[in-house]
Chain A
Amino acid sequence: MATNVGYFVRESVTNFQRNWVMSLGAVITIYLSLLLVGISIATGIIVSDIVQSVEDKVTIQIFLKDGAAEEDVQALQAFIDSDPQVDTINYTSKDEALEQFREQMKESPEILEQIEENPLPASLDVTLLDPREVQTTVDKIKASELFLAVADRPDDPEASLKYGQQVVEKLFAFTRVVRIVEIVFISMLAVVSLIFINNTIRLAIYARRKEVGIMRLVGASNWFIRTPFLMEGVIQALIGALLAILSIVGLQALILPQLQETLPFLAVSISSTALVQLSLILVGAGIIIGLAGSGFALRRYLKV
Chain B
Amino acid sequence: MISMRGVEKHYVSDSPALTEVNVEIEQGEFVFLVGHSGSGKSTFIKLLLREIMPTSGQIIVAGQDLIKLKNWKVPYLRRNIGCVFQDFKLLPNKTSYENVAFALEVIGRSRHVIRTQVPEVLRLVGLEDKMESYPDELSGGEQQRVSIARAFVNRPPLLLADEPTGNLDPATSLGIMSLLNRINKTGTTVLVATHDREMVDSMRKRVIALENGKVIRDQNRGVYGYGD
User: Using a CB–CB distance below 8 Å, which chain A residues touch chain B?
Assistant: 3-4, 7, 210-211, 213-222, 224-225
Contact = CB atoms under 8 A, between A and B. Distances in A.
A218 B89 contact: no
A219 B78 contact: yes
Interface of B: 49, 72, 75-81, 83, 89, 91, 102-103, 105-108, 110-111, 150, 154
Given A4-B108, A214-B102, A214-B103, A219 B76 contact: yes
A194 to B, nearest CB: 26
A220 B107 contact: yes
B166 to A, nearest CB: 18
A222 B72 contact: yes
A224 B106 CA distance: 7
A221 B74 CA distance: 8
Nearest to B49: A217
Contacts of B154: 218
Contacts of A220: 75, 106-107
B91 A218 contact: no
Contacts of B79: 218-219
Contacts of A218: 78-79, 83, 102-103, 106-107, 150, 154
User: Does more than half of chain A's interface fall in helix, strand or loop, or is it mixed?
Assistant: helix
23 contacts: A7-B105, A210-B91, A211-B102, A213-B89, A214-B91, A214-B103, A215-B106, A217-B49, A217-B83, A218-B78, A218-B79, A218-B102, A218-B103, A218-B107, A218-B154, A219-B77, A219-B80, A219-B81, A220-B75, A221-B72, A221-B76, A222-B72, A222-B75
Contacts of B108: 3-4, 221, 224
B102 A219 contact: no
Nearest to B109: A3
Interface centre among B79, B89, B105 (most CB of A within 10 A): B105
Contacts of B91: 210-211, 214
Contacts of B75: 216, 219-222
